[in-house]
Amino acid sequence: MFDDPPAPQPLQQGEAPPQGTGDPLGLDGQPRAWQFNPEYQKLVTLWQQVMPMMESLTGVLKEAERLAQSRDVWDAPVGQRYVEDIGEWQKRLGMYRQSMLGAISDQAADTPRWVPVDAGAPHAFS
């Protein structure tokens, strides 16, 4: 099974915006007001919505596999075929989970957590 990629981190209580000027080149020398990037927050929310669904699907397949392996439910040679099919579904779900969570994680890594108040919220691939 795959390990999940790192999740985008929500705004923590007491977390402060970056210090210094908002101009990366330091040309204006004026301090700027910062806000937590709304685009980054959307990624946090998306992760929080997707994870319970993925956990639910994983749990359902594990329970189906457990039942399929039990002789109380299925006592025939063909039962092994169903166990193998469920194993393949688990493998596909694992790859799908890795792909989906990886895409969210990669996007979050390319999206700044804080943006100047007067700027549009930049994010990767905009």
Residue 56 tokens, joined = 């639910």
pLDDT tens digits for 52-78? 999 999 999 999 999 888 877 777 777
- What residues have CB less than 8 Å from 112, skipping those under 6 apart? 37, 40, 122, 123
State the virtual CA torsion across 45, 46, 51, 56 in degrees, nearest 10: 110
Tens digit of pLDDT at every position of the chain (126 positions): 568 999 999 999 999 888 765 555 455 666 678 889 999 999 999 999 999 999 999 999 999 999 888 877 777 777 788 889 999 999 999 999 999 999 999 999 999 999 888 755 555 554
Burial (CB count <10 Å: 0-12, 13-18, 19+), residue 78: exposed
